Amino acid sequence: MRYFYIFCLLIFSTTTFSQKKETIWGYLKDSVTNEPIVLASVANFETKKTVMTSNTGRFKIEVSDNQILSFAAVGYFFDTVAFHKNLLVKDTLYLYLKPLARSLGNITVYSKATNAYQQDSIERRKDFMGDRVQYTIPSVALSNTGAGLGINIDRYSKNEKNKRKAFAFFEANEKEEYINYRFPASIVTNYSGLKDDALQDFMQLHRPTYEWLRKHKTEEDIKYYINDKLKEFFKR
């Protein structure tokens, strides 16, 4: 994450794009334990397509040369991969996310609840900003309007366009993280009874939008949403 902004500059300066789509298979794992990360979101930043990892951390998604995939899961820093031809020729990719933990004295507290999203978001934002800009850490990350935070990033780059794109890319990943917190497997299973492959399929096909979740703030809203979408799911 310390080099997230430099990464963005390299990505957004690319001008050659391939129209050929390839289906990529991969595994997403914990960088510390090497365990699979289950039901994490894998999003194609260009096509806005999002898929979920399986019980083994496996996923598949369509991607073209020079497109960007982002990976997000509750309790982890998000990360990104830019796909070029040398990656597209590989049969299977192995990717890793760094666990996000907050230390309180000798106790390490990992994010487990929706209200922990704000604290985790602050940690990710601090990591993204690094020591490049002096700013006050907000008490709430991302307003209910979805407008985000007006953080000054003038020192990021001499190129104003790249600064805006880098920060917009960061906010897009934060939205994916928010959806994961509000729409976790535990809640979906509790109200649907779905497990394993059926659970993965449902969460992938009926993943709510960030905008919808910001307007519907209670678990009861999620319950009615799941019940409604289950009718479509079983018809399929």
| Residue 151: predicted pLDDT | 35
1 pLDDT band, cuts 50/70/90, is: low
Place of tokens 């106790």: 107
- For 89-109, how does the pLDDT look when each residue is reduced to its tens digit (9 = 90+)? 667 889 999 998 754 444 444
* Confidence check: pLDDT of 191 > 60: yes
pLDDT tens string 132-182: 444 443 333 333 333 333 333 444 455 667 777 778 888 889 999 999 999
Q: What is the pTM of this model?
A: 0.75
Mean pLDDT of the chain: 77
- Domains delineated in the chain: 4-97 (2.60.40.10), 185-235 (no CATH)
Alpha helices in 143-184 (DSSP H): 160-182
Summarize the confidence of residues 218-224 as an average pLDDT: 95
Amino acid identity of 46? E
Triad 21, 26, 30: Cα angle to 5°: 140
216, 225 Cβ separation under 8 angstroms: yes
What CA dihedral angle connects 219, 224, 227 and 233, to 10 degrees? Answer: -90
Distance CA 114, CA 179 (A): 10
Over residues 51-100, the pLDDT tens digits come to: 999 999 999 999 888 888 899 999 999 888 888 777 666 678 899 999 98
